[in-house]
Structure 1
Amino acid sequence: MLLSVISFAQTTVKGTITDNTGQPLPGANIIIEGTTIGTSSDFDGKYIITTDQAPPFKLVVTYTGFETQTLDVTSNNQTVDVKMIEGNELDEIVISASRTPERIFESPVTVERFGLKEIKNTPSADFYGGLENLKGVDINTNSLTFKSINTRGFATFANTRFMQLVDGMDNSAPALNFPLGNLLGMVETDVQSVEILPGASSALYGANAFNGILFMTSKNPFDHQGIRGYFKQGITSQEAAGDNSYTDFGISMSHKFSDKFAAKVNFGYLKGTDWFANNIDDKNLPGGTRESNINYNGVNVYGDEVAANIRDLSGLGVIPDVVVSRTGFVEQDLTDYSAESIKADWGLYFRPWANDFEIQYVGKVGTGSTIYQGAQRYRIDGFSLQQHKLEVRNDNFFVRGYVTSDKAGDTYVMDVLGPNLLNELKSHADWFGDYIATYAGIELSGNPQGLTDAEKHAASRAVAESGIPAVGSEEFQQAFDRVTSDTNFLTGAGFKDNSKIYHGDANYNFGETFDFAEVQVGGSYRTYRLNSFGTIYADAEGPITYSELGIYTQLQRSLELNENLELKLTGSVRYDKSELFDGFFSPRISAGLTVNENHNIRASFQTGFRNPDTQALYIGLETNAGTLIGGATDIGNRFTRDYGVSQFAQNNLGQPALLPQTGAAAYTNSFAQDQNGNLVVGNSNFTEPEQVASFELGYRGKVEGFVIDASAYYSTYNDFLANENVIAPLYGNVDPDGDGVLDVTDPQTQLALGALQNGDTVGYQTYTNADETVNSYGASVSVSTKIFGGFDINANYTWSRLDFDVAGNPNFQTNFNTPEHKVKLGFGKTDLIKNLGFNVAWRWSDNYFWEASFGNGEIPAFNVLDAQVNYRIPSLKSTLKAGATNLLAKEYFTAFGTGLIGSQYYLSLTINNL
């Protein structure tokens, strides 16, 4: 009898969800109105809901890109089929712009969205690469598995001005200060949506939300259940590297055990061969080669920066007064170019009262190998990152805390490896000694063979190279292993790090609590714990910790001016305080005017700031080329070294054999050169936060079937972080009276000049703020529509311009690194014929000049064509896709010093990805 009662009390509803052409819509969300009870449609668009709620009640059906449908359920075992009405991208819901769900049409600022439809149809090799087709978005390709996303310029691969959040967690590696693309990110079958917020966003997201934010949201196991997976197999093709196998697969498993508990786990694996970097252009002599220039220094050649004036070394008049460099290693000698990514994540989700109140625990771990280019070229080998998050949330609030931890693995720096490996195989002293002795022998013997000067140098180099083990030999490999495992950059090239970030943030949306506006309040707290064991940071005495705190509020109100006009006003302000700097307010105001439900005009003023990153604050890295020193005011308390003093200074100036110097000397007692090469007082300023103010005007609307989104902005940057090269004397005072003017008559300054003359100095590269104001402005527009009976076509154009006197500031690099003009086109159809679809994406980039600490150079204009064709197999709930990136095989590059980007050809099978 009890079973009968229970059975009688349950209500079952089933049906099929289709689009307006009758095609099934997998992954549609179906819930009972006013509850969290629901399900999602399967690959065939079918669904079943069982509830103890008696009819009548309503079902609410939602699917991205379609209008929401509400239907009545009046009886048990009712079949409710739903034909969805296709909307457009203006109807899509975004959260990032205001921290609350809203139609992208009504967003107060520019926002780009990449949803399930775009992920499934992208012709790129993965969803992350597909983001490159969005307007205003740049992707700089560092290597096969490391792509750096940026908006609105000022980008390097160490892109500390752009944030990446995965389910609310900052995905940046604590030691590097920036995310490694999607190397350690999300598995494709677990991605729910991606949103990009260009420009300053500090009012809601705090420090470092400076030039834009990427938001990636995963699928909740309460809403998306089952096993989903994909397998991709193909090749990468590059002239330098040839054709190499490429494998990428992932699996997602999620299950709703009850209305109160659900869980999921994801795993992804990728393996391939990186793009070879083989630029052997001479940095010292344009067009020069090793044969034509004895002081050759190739772009992707390491060790040849070790150079010396051989007359100065020998003191012999028969030796010419020329600089000779050692024969370095091409990059292929120092890495095997293997690219690998292994990542996993898992989550436990609790809804204790079977409503929208949810408790989440999420864990993520990943390891990978890739190439990264910063000030040097890094071989990221076995680098690992893990995150653990605990979050409590419902529709109105969230409170979360997470920890991010990294380990460097077997990572090493190829630019540092080159010189130190050469010295290990044959010391610099022996090499130059053999070179000089050979040249002198030819000269002193009267040059009986009648060698030309070039032949004399070639003969000297051949003798100097003798005795060096061949690349790949056992002796070479043993030396290679010794140097890459040594974390002292004066003798080795290895990284050692185990840094952490502890972060907590909260937000509460009062919703309709107040009549005058929708009010949100929130805040965040972050602690950095730097622990490189004295190898990267100035933390030899122990880990460095410091914290940041921020609080914010936002008010949003809609005013109906008349039946055709609605005005939406948004105001936000945030206060942030780092224990290292003064507090900072970041306001944002915006207004959006909606006209006839088809047109929206928006205007906003936003501000942002960026605290100096961990390296800009506390790096203390000694190399043979000099010392990189952070600009924190307490750097002098953390970085001290003893340096040997010249014999001259000991004998004539009474200086001791060893003198200590702190890193603060670079900021308080140093020389520098002005743009004319004159000696001046250096004394870089300690670092302060960067600031930006940005004005934006935009339009979104639908005109005669065309969806249009356009915007223009103007941004002003102050206190731009930059690097300076200075030389700090071991004794004397560069500027005793502190007026910033070099007084060569002062005895203390004369003593400092003597130190400079005797070589009793330390060279530093400092982090400091530029006095110059930097401006940039730009505009973008996208247009999309359907033509010829349902073909999707879209086009976008982006214009970006730097407003800065480059000629008047030759020593200051803005690193704008963005083409002035970009054009992108897309064309495709999900159902060309039954179950068969295709998509084509083409993009063109204007030429631009790349400047970064690794090197500067012109990036030629390029155009790229990507394409894919897919076939759905309903009986297997699968999709088969064949695709190619850079289909035209026109190799190109996006940054100076990286490998040319070739083509990828792949075949993939995706199963049950609803």
Structure 2
Amino acid sequence: MRAALLIPLLLVGNFLFSQTTVNGNVVDQDEQPVPGANIVIEGKAIGTTTDFDGNFILETSEVPPFVLKVTSIGYSDATEEVTETGATLTIVLNETQTFLDEVVISASRTPERIFESPVSVERFGLKEIKSTSSESFYSGLQNLKGVDVNTSSLTFQSVNTRGFAAFSNNRFMQLVDGMDNSAPGLNFVLGNLVGMSELEVQSVEILPGASSALYGAGAFNGILFMTSKDPWNYQGISTYLKGGATSQDAAGTNAYYDFGIRVAHAFSEKFAAKANFSILKGEDWHANSTLDLENPGRTRSHPAYDGLNVYGDEVSTVLNFDDIAGLPSGTIGSATVSRTGYDEASLVDYEAESVKFDGAVHYRPFEDDFEMVYQARVGRGNTIYQGANRYNIQDFIMQQHKLEIRNDNFFLRGYLTAENSGNSYDTRFTAINVNRRWKRDAPNPDNPAEPSWFGDYARAFIGAKLGIGTGNQLDDETAHALARDAADTGRLIPGTPAFENALAKVTADGDLTTGSRFIDNTKVRHIDANYNFTHLTGDFAEIQVGGSFREYVLNSNGTIFTDIDKPIVYGEYGAYAQLQKKLLDERLKFTGSVRYDKNEFFDGFLSPRASLVYTVGEQRNHNIRASVQQGFRNPTTQDLFIGLNAGRAILVGSAPNNLDRYTSPALSLSTDGQGITGQSTVVISGREAYENAFSLNSVEAGNPTAVNTDLVKPEEVTAYEVGYRSQMGKIAIDLSGYYNNYENFISNTTVVVPYYGDAALTETIPGTNIPLALAALENGDFQPFQTYTNSLADISSYGATLGVDAKILGDFDIGGSYTYAKLDFDQAAFPDFRTNFNTPEHKFKASFGNTELFDNFGFNINYRWSDTYFWQSTFGDGDIAAYSVLDAQINYAVPSIKSVFKLGGSNILGEEYFSAIGTGAVGALYYLSWTINP
């Protein structure tokens, strides 16, 4: 409705009387037009932009004389005086030598050249968006030095820097026009699924490493800033259409398209508005690995098979055939048997989709830089998210609404982020409960005649081994095959109406004991402010202060969090100050900042940062920088309040009041367990996972050891960075090295809780010396839990990045970068602790292109190589093979129709690769795009 009301307004002309009209053309030093250049009246918030041919018309009530300031990324600024109305101007912009001259804001919350930034920073602007060889600007970020992008889905890519990568990357923050773009309940960014349209992006900036001193707890390992085009300087209607195909061995060749439109207009010098709409559709990357990750030698014929992308076969039990048949021990024996699972392709819809709308109204009541903004963003998407399980995200909706007042010296903004999980569901529990809807797992003690899968399996196996009915005693392999066939008789077959009906019912049910849907309507309310006192203190130093407040409202109806009775509400706040001063003939720049943050569950935390940048050389074209800062991150909403049975383990957050909030459904005891306890079921609380459990590794090693898990608290990092930047003619060098030392590193441990007895082994079976808890482990009466805690180990990481960019042979752009990353952690000393570093030790990237090879024709090629690395996650662990990727594009501009045509592809050589264990292999994507008024 909001879009329907806004778009007609945007198409209305400006009927207000303008006293002065200025016509002009902006060109570069070669007299080529510069499209998208900003023209602003100096000292006023009044301006316009050049069109595709570099032309502009500025209408204003300002009376000459006044000065126009002209800027464009990649060019030096220019000014031109207007002395009369009706003037026609030609303004020349000189191309800057290197990217180090580009201006960034994120590093210090104030405009400064990359060359002068006190920390590492990467920028992806209008020029880079136009020339990217990837299918989207967001995918193109993976060509920046030091930046990793892991692909979970065609529409879900996770950006990361400096290690500890994961799809649920809660160490990395993404801000879209100042709003945290993380999904409130999931606690991490869903890539650009519900982010920004390509036509709307003015720039993307990435700060690798800790940035807590300015941006708070979420900016722990890196932060990405997306800034949109405003409706004052970027007016008109722009659109693009991309069509093409994806190619993957598992999925075949499938259509891909992406469409976007942007409309913006300044109705007067006080009022402007804009709106964007985009839609992307394609076939997702299919995940079809049948490898049994824990036992790679097993095939589907093995009785305990558990395939990686096969779900439902996690349900297993130890069948003691001698006890079941009443035979002497050792007659037939026992075996671990798993239920027959379903392939992922039978359980999910692989249609990837991203639909985004955003609109904004800008009001400048005084016709100067004071501005009031209302902005709304709404995104809906389908994707595959991989966490503890694989989740089919269907009709997921996230919306953000922001009110902001600002001028050049301050801003005050408040925004709401709300998500709705739509029809999303857990694929593992889908398979488990489709199986159970057809036939229960274990015999029903209240109705022994009711069919059960393990009961049918056991009877058929015993009969085959004893030769009942045939007189022939079969070998184990044949008997297991016959037993599975017997237990699976009448099983629901994918594609049949019975299966589809069961699938629909299970995926619509939010109770994980019978269904697989997860429900999430979590919200975040956020307020932040900043004031820059430089206009008052400029002769002394630049001083800024700011702060923020955030409130979480967790609302999953008990399907994710322990909020089954009512939403869980809690908050946090913070404040910061920064001083920046130039010394020694402005060759030395000092930046110091400190931030205080407080979460209601934890003590307050100080995050200081100090940096020095020293410029050397007669031409001031070399600088050396050094910085040190402390950062922290609070435990996430899931770290604190999750209460989720993920199949392989139950996940229980460790907020003090969460341990008793979680109680498991009734868990069935084995026959032996019932004999010991006299009961058939037991209920376990979250507290037992933290206070009455064995470490998983000790159980697997045959030496069960009790472990008490400490409650989680904030994670801390001390980050050191040194760097060197240089501009030497047409060559730019950017070198940085870092060392991060972590304290109270947040991660997970997996523990085993016995159904009866205590982990301290003080309780024994009556009349014996056998500890009850050891008997529970022997009988299979135990439950794995994943707990959230902090490591006692010393954990550090270090690395370096070198980037070189140059212009050669005239106007050819060439660049290359190398990144080294290393984790320093003694895994053997802490076998239960998982760091999830998930980062290759070595990476290399290269680019080669020319934006104007000949008139209106350009090209760009990007190459990436990643070393092998170990992937660690709750879904699965394993080695990721080294891979190489080549992206390329050619583009041709047709000025007469204000259009650019681009033909290109990602991974054009089609060498499929994985970025994580359990995902679909990333194939090739080829596209042809047509952009009007880029």
Is the shorter-chain TM-score for this pair beyond 0.5, marking a shared fold?
yes
- Shorter chain as normaliser: what TM range? over 0.9
Matched, 1:542 2:555: no
Matched, 1:721 2:746: yes
CA–CA separation in structure 2 for the residues paired with 1:656 and 1:845: 55
The answer for unaligned runs of 5 or more in structure 1 is 1-5, 736-741
Instruction: Give the corresponding residue for 1:367.
Output: 380
- Which of 725, 728, 737 is the equivalent residue of 1:703? 728
Matched, 1:28 2:33: no
Instruction: Give the corresponding residue for 1:589.
Output: 610
Amino acid at match of 2:252: G
- Which of 22, 26, 39 is the equivalent residue of 1:13? 22
Q: How does 1:92-491 map to 2 (within 5 A)?
A: 92-291=102-301, 293-311=302-320, 314-315=324-325, 317=327, 318-429=331-442, 430-445=452-467, 448=471, 451-491=474-514
Moved more, 244-253 or 638-647: 638-647
Aligned partners of 1:490 and 1:622 also within 8 Å? no
CA–CA separation in structure 2 for the residues paired with 1:631 and 1:60: 56
Instruction: Give the corresponding residue for 1:3.
Output: none
CA–CA separation in structure 2 for the residues paired with 1:808 and 1:751: 29
Aligned partners of 2:325 and 2:462 also within 8 Å? no
- Which of 818, 826, 837 is the equivalent residue of 2:847? 826
Amino acid at match of 1:340: E
Moved more, 408-417 or 638-647: 638-647
Instruction: Give the corresponding residue for 1:632.
Output: 655
Aligned partners of 2:720 and 2:739 also within 8 Å? yes
RMSD of aligned residue pairs (Cα, Å): 2.4
Instruction: Give the corresponding residue for 1:618.
Output: 641
Instruction: Give the corresponding residue for 2:447.
Output: none
Q: Deviations for 1:584-634, whole angstroms, at most 9, x for unmatched residues?
A: 000000000012321111100022111111111001123554421111011
**CA shift at 1:274, angstroms?**
0.3
- The secondary structure found in structure 1 opposite 2:43 is coil
- The secondary structure found in structure 1 opposite 2:365 is coil
Q: Deviations for 1:643-689, whole angstroms, at most 9, x for unmatched residues?
A: 57969999987x88887654223223334355444223322111101
Aligned partners of 1:603 and 1:697 also within 8 Å? yes
- Which of 689, 704, 707 is the equivalent residue of 2:714? 689
CA–CA separation in structure 2 for the residues paired with 1:326 and 1:645: 17
- The secondary structure found in structure 2 opposite 1:635 is coil
**CA shift at 1:362, angstroms?**
0.5
TM-score computed with the length of structure 1 as normaliser: 0.94
Aligned partners of 1:425 and 1:476 also within 8 Å? no
Amino acid at match of 1:568: K
Instruction: Give the corresponding residue for 2:448.
Output: none
Amino acid at match of 2:153: S
- Which of 860, 864, 868 is the equivalent residue of 2:881? 860
- The secondary structure found in structure 2 opposite 1:80 is strand
CA–CA separation in structure 2 for the residues paired with 1:98 and 1:420: 52
Amino acid at match of 1:54: V
Instruction: Give the corresponding residue for 2:4.
Output: none
Q: How does 1:727-766 map to 2 (within 5 A)?
A: 727-728=752-753, 734=759, 763-766=784-787
Matched, 1:86 2:88: no
Aligned partners of 2:205 and 2:226 also within 8 Å? yes
**CA shift at 1:554, angstroms?**
0.3
Amino acid at match of 1:65: G
Moved more, 621-630 or 865-874: 621-630
Matched, 1:899 2:920: yes
Aligned partners of 2:464 and 2:473 also within 8 Å? no
**CA shift at 1:338, angstroms?**
0.8
**CA shift at 1:370, angstroms?**
0.6
Aligned partners of 2:507 and 2:515 also within 8 Å? yes
CA–CA separation in structure 1 for the residues paired with 2:746 and 2:55: 56
- CA change 1:9–1:186 in 2 (3 A) is closer
CA–CA separation in structure 2 for the residues paired with 1:907 and 1:127: 15
- Which of 838, 844, 859 is the equivalent residue of 1:838? 859
Query: Percentage identity across aligned positions?
Result: 54
**CA shift at 1:351, angstroms?**
0.5
Matched, 1:609 2:632: yes
Moved more, 301-310 or 234-243: 301-310
CA–CA separation in structure 2 for the residues paired with 1:642 and 1:51: 70
Q: Deviations for 1:374-415, whole angstroms, at most 9, x for unmatched residues?
A: 111110011111111000111110000001111111111112
Q: How does 1:16-95 map to 2 (within 5 A)?
A: 16-87=25-96, 88-95=98-105
**CA shift at 1:761, angstroms?**
5.8
CA–CA separation in structure 1 for the residues paired with 2:681 and 2:24: 84
CA–CA separation in structure 2 for the residues paired with 1:770 and 1:743: 28
Moved more, 311-320 or 347-356: 311-320
Aligned partners of 2:696 and 2:752 also within 8 Å? no
**CA shift at 1:192, angstroms?**
0.5
**CA shift at 1:77, angstroms?**
2.3
Aligned partners of 1:319 and 1:436 also within 8 Å? no
Aligned partners of 1:380 and 1:410 also within 8 Å? yes
Q: Deviations for 1:737-790, whole angstroms, at most 9, x for unmatched residues?
A: xxxxx6679999967667767877654221111111211100001111111121
- Which of 573, 577, 585 is the equivalent residue of 1:553? 577
CA–CA separation in structure 2 for the residues paired with 1:758 and 1:802: 39
CA–CA separation in structure 1 for the residues paired with 2:665 and 2:697: 29
Aligned partners of 1:128 and 1:182 also within 8 Å? yes
- The secondary structure found in structure 1 opposite 2:501 is helix
Amino acid at match of 1:286: P
- CA change 1:423–1:644 in 2 (3 A) is closer
**CA shift at 1:483, angstroms?**
1.2
Aligned partners of 2:347 and 2:427 also within 8 Å? yes
Aligned partners of 2:518 and 2:560 also within 8 Å? yes
Moved more, 779-788 or 724-733: 724-733
Amino acid at match of 2:857: L
Amino acid at match of 1:852: S
Aligned partners of 2:695 and 2:752 also within 8 Å? yes
- The secondary structure found in structure 1 opposite 2:183 is coil
**CA shift at 1:288, angstroms?**
2.7
Q: Deviations for 1:506-563, whole angstroms, at most 9, x for unmatched residues?
A: 000001422432110000000000011111111111000100010000000001x25x
Amino acid at match of 2:731: F
Amino acid at match of 1:604: S
CA–CA separation in structure 2 for the residues paired with 1:286 and 1:659: 34
CA–CA separation in structure 2 for the residues paired with 1:838 and 1:726: 54
Moved more, 268-277 or 675-684: 675-684
Matched, 1:516 2:526: no
- CA change 1:749–1:640 in 2 (3 A) is farther
- The secondary structure found in structure 2 opposite 1:428 is coil
CA–CA separation in structure 2 for the residues paired with 1:745 and 1:308: 24
Instruction: Give the corresponding residue for 2:9.
Output: none
Aligned partners of 2:858 and 2:891 also within 8 Å? yes
- CA change 1:184–1:613 in 2 (3 A) is same
